Amino acid sequence: MSFKKLSASIEKHGANLCIGLDPVPEKIPEFLFEYEDAVLEFNTRIIEATKDAVCAYKLNAAFYESLGEKGWSTFGETVARIPDDVYVIADCKRSDIGNSARHYAQTFFDYFDVDAVTVNPYMGFDSLEPFINYSNKDIFSLVVTSNPGARDFQMCDVGGKKLFELVLEKLHEWNKLGNIGAVVGATKGEELVGIRSRFPDLSLLIPGIGTQGGSIETVAAVVRIPGAPIIVNVSRDIIFAGFDEKFADKVKEKASYYNAILS
């Protein structure tokens, strides 16, 4: 059964909240730079403060890749410090021709041993197949994203349907192993409700809450619709809740705020 670990984490922690560990060195509390790896210390303190209040952590690879070789080391060390019972997502939005995609899948599933990755479906089935074939791992495919540019392609009419609807139908068709989910932004509330109602078998990763302005109330209502597990991701609004030595306490308070609404 796919998404088994995610379901277990949601049940154990009583939370659908996922915290995005997307560190920006310029925003990290200054005192942390006394440590050898300020970013890792930042992430570690957030994990320690919130590990019982989340179902998952999501690491956007861009925030680590931009730090070069050390960034990849910090990525791996951060994953290693997340408790085994908490779900881990590598937000890398990868896809490529089959052979290249296979190596991307090996990077995140074998080397870093994360539980799920985000992928881009634009190149079609063969670009996602190497990820899907990891039957004990999960993928979240971009469907309706939270950024303004989503309208450029995702909302285009294609034979009487929106392009994102065709993507959803394909994901549903390809979901033979039950390990495919969809990324649907909280800023697209109408589409979010419709997708959950039409495809309850697809797990959802919902970004766009907080800084991006998505409605937490709409998302909370969607979470209550029966179906596959749902993850609600919040990044900046939680991890940058405080900037002094007690920043982790502020982070924990912010996580509790979101959990209260989502529960």
Question: What is the mean pLDDT of each successive set of 10 residues along the chain, which is 263 residues long?
Answer: 90 97 97 97 98 98 97 98 98 94 98 98 97 97 94 94 96 96 94 94 92 87 95 96 97 97 91
Of the residues 5, 58, 70, 93, only one is catalytic, namely 93
pLDDT of the residue at 49: 98
Q: What is the pLDDT of residue 102?
A: 97
Write down the pTM of the prediction.
0.96
Domain count, the chain: 1
pLDDT at site 73:
98
Residues 74-98: tens digit of each pLDDT: 999 999 999 999 999 999 999 999 8
Q: Domain holding 225: CATH number?
A: 3.20.20.70
Q: What is the pLDDT of residue 210?
A: 76
Domain of residue 251 covers 4-262
Alpha-carbon dihedral sign for residues 224, 229, 59, 252: positive
pLDDT, one tens digit per residue, over 25-51 is: 999 999 999 999 999 999 999 999 999
Structure confidence at residue 211 (pLDDT) = 76
Determine whether 170 is an active site residue: no
Contact 72, 39 (CB under 8 A): no
pLDDT attached to residue 98: 86
CA 63, 3, 99, 168 dihedral sign is: negative
